[in-house]
């Protein structure tokens, strides 16, 4: 196979990780200078910063005024766990899973909480049968499958007059995909995805229906302090005003506020979605003209604009066994990292072999444009190496 020359142009920022994700354009440590370090998060300055983060989240994400927004421990995982352990058990629950993280929530509900659960699944690349969901039950799902690149196209499948709650893990969708909050009773996400914030802090958004459930339902299991959202049968309103359950990092809070300010400066939610869409379109156009690669997501309507997952479809590579295909993809990823043009783009460990390229709003479209010729170069180089080894 003829060698392909290395592209002359390189991405200015080679960070394409799906979390923690690239920092916003123009970010530097200096933007954190106003962080109240060495001060209590319960002091007036700390509370003000936490409240500011909540208020700006509501503004940029366009969260309804009667929904509560809280900063909680342990990233998106902590926020989802709080919701599952605090809200479920009042009725049966339908669990939707089509990738690794959704499957993780199934494990919690089925094996840990041992609830009356129906599991509705689909393989990587597809959505489960949404028409089979029973909304007389609670429903738990991810909006965007971070490890599969498959997202919900809309919330039309969720009825307005549902009896159960809808609990949505939106960590790789929030700020990049339009979500109908009227159809969502619980929404969770973390700072380190679309806005490129720092890890370890989660966001929990509750509808009035979710609050009513918290105040009317007492779970049958012991509730760790870190999960407790109520006190004496009433919602702990302080959590949703910045009075966090445990100590947050004020440095991370400052970073999140900076990201929210940047988001507002580029047009808010519409601007963020537009940037992610433009990035994903570069990859989509490239896939359309490239015969060795395809999307993992089967239906174009469900293809993510953030965690874009790709698979190798070249017949020489697909003829290899599973281990061989994985080794081929990993060799490409390693070559790109060695060249310093792409970091952290390998498929998630539980997903089919291939690539996962983050296209969220903090990534510049010009960097995605510079990346795709390098993907072609890495493929040609590895296929040549494979032929020479035969």
> Can you tell me whether residue 362 is helix, strand or coil?
coil
Find the farthest-apart pair of alpha carbons in the chain and give their distance in angstroms, rounded. 72
Q: What is the pLDDT of residue 2?
A: 54
Give the tens place of pLDDT for each residue, 67-107: 999 999 999 999 999 999 999 999 999 999 999 999 999 99
Distance CA 137, CA 152 (A): 20
* In-domain check, residue 19: no
Are 56 and 171 part of one and the same domain? yes
* In-domain check, residue 297: yes
Average pLDDT over residues 315-328: 98
Distance CA 21, CA 115 (A): 35
Instruction: State what percent of residues in the chain have pLDDT above 90.
Output: 98
Are 146 and 247 part of one and the same domain? yes
* In-domain check, residue 292: yes
Task: State the CATH number of the domain containing residue 254.
Answer: 3.40.640.10
Domain edge (last residue) among 220, 245, 264: 264
Are 329 and 245 part of one and the same domain? no
Are 102 and 208 part of one and the same domain? yes
- Tell me the pLDDT of the chain averaged across its residues: 97
Are 256 and 375 part of one and the same domain? no
Domain edge (last residue) among 245, 264, 283: 264
* Residue 240 confidence (pLDDT) above 90: yes
Domain edge (last residue) among 230, 264, 298: 264
Are 375 and 258 part of one and the same domain? no
Are 258 and 278 part of one and the same domain? no
pTM of the model: 0.97
Are 251 and 342 part of one and the same domain? no
How many CA atoms, within 13 angstroms, populate the side-chain half-sphere of residue 112?
11
Distance CA 207, CA 186 (A): 6
Are 181 and 76 part of one and the same domain? yes
Are 49 and 77 part of one and the same domain? yes
Are 235 and 301 part of one and the same domain? no
Q: Which domain holds residue 60?
A: 35-264
């Amino acid at each position: 196979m003829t060698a392909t020359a290395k592209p002359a142009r390189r991405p200015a920022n080679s960070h394409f990780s799906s979390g923690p994700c690239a920092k916003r354009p123009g970010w530097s440590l200096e933007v954190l200078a106003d962080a109240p370090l060495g001060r209590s998060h319960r002091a007036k300055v700390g509370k003000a910063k936490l409240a500011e983060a909540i208020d700006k989240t509501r503004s940029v994400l366009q969260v309804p005024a009667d929904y509560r927004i809280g900063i909680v421990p342990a990233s998106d995982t902590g926020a989802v766990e709080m919701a599952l352990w605090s809200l479920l058990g009042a009725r049966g629950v339908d669990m939707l899973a089509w990738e690794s993280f959704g499957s993780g929530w199934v494990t919690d509900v089925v094996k840990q909480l041992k609830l009356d659960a129906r599991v509705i699944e689909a393989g990587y690349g597809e959505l489960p049968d949404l028409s089979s969901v029973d909304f007389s039950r609670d429903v738990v799902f991810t909006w965007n499958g971070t490890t599969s690149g498959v997202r919900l196209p809309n919330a039309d499948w969720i009825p307005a007059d549902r009896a159960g709650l809808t609990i949505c893990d939106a960590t790789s969708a929030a700020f990049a995909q339009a979500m109908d909050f009227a159809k969502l009773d619980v929404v969770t996400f973390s700072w380190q995805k679309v806005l490129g914030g720092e890890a370890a802090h989660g966001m929990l958004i509750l509808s009035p229906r979710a609050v009513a459930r918290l105040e009317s339902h007492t779970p049958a299991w012991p509730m760790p302090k870190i999960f407790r959202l109520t006190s004496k049968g009433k919602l702990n309103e302080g959590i949703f005003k910045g009075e966090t359950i445990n100590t947050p990092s004020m440095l991370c809070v400052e970073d999140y506020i900076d990201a929210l300010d940047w988001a507002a400066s580029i047009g808010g939610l519409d601007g963020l979605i537009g940037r992610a869409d433009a990035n994903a379109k570069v990859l989509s156009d490239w896939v359309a003209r490239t015969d060795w690669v395809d999307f993992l997501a089967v239906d174009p309507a469900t293809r993510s604009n953030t965690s874009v997952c790709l698979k190798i479809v070249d017949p020489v590579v697909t003829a290899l066994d599973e281990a061989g295909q994985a080794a081929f993809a990993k060799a490409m990823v390693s070559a790109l990292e060695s060249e310093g043009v792409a970091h952290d783009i390998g498929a998630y460990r539980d997903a089919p072999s291939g690539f996962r390229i983050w296209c969220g709003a903090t990534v510049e479209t010009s960097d995605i444009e510079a990346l795709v010729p390098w993907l072609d170069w890495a493929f040609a180089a590895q296929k040549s190496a494979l032929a020479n080894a035969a």
